[in-house]
Structure 1
């Protein structure tokens, strides 16, 4: 994730340096917007999903971060809202 993409991801999560927990997970931008190519690259990398524009978004695309993308956007001491992202469960040891 590039520094610009990380800034966009933090904005999508509502993390502004004062909050310690995300409170949303969306970003709306359309073709021709300077942010749009960055979001398309995040979709390609598996860091976000894209829903094509609708009347509700004024025709612009609606992006949401995946868990992988959201985790990369966090600073130390920050967390993701459990309404948007379920808590990560510890992996069970299957080698026994």
Structure 2
């Protein structure tokens, strides 16, 4: 994950240095935006999922991090909200 992708991913889950636990998991962007190619690359690498444009997103794509992608961007002392990222049972 590139530094730009990491920043976008942290924004998507609400980690901004003030919060120690994620509180959301979404990012809306569309073709032509500088962010869109970064999100497509994160989908390709398995760090995010993409829901194609809809009326609810104003015609843009909705991206969400996978658990693996979210865990990758955590800083020490941060955690994922268990409602958005349920525990993986072995």
The TM-score bracket by the shorter chain reads over 0.9
**Structure 1 counterpart of 2:4:** 4
**Which whole-Å CA distance do the structure 1 matches of 2:76 and 2:57 have between them?**
33
**Structure 1 counterpart of 2:42:** 42
**Structure 2 counterpart of 1:71:** 71
**Which whole-Å CA distance do the structure 2 matches of 1:68 and 1:87 have between them?**
12
Q: Please state if 1:21 is matched with 2:21.
A: yes
The CA deviation at 1:87 is 2.2
Q: How many residues matched?
A: 90
**Which whole-Å CA distance do the structure 2 matches of 1:50 and 1:12 have between them?**
13
Structure 1 stretches of 5 or more lacking a match?
A: 92-96
Q: TM-score by structure 1 length?
A: 0.91
Q: RMSD over aligned Cα, in angstroms?
A: 0.9
The CA deviation at 1:88 is 4.1
Q: TM-score by structure 2 length?
A: 0.97
**Which whole-Å CA distance do the structure 2 matches of 1:73 and 1:14 have between them?**
11
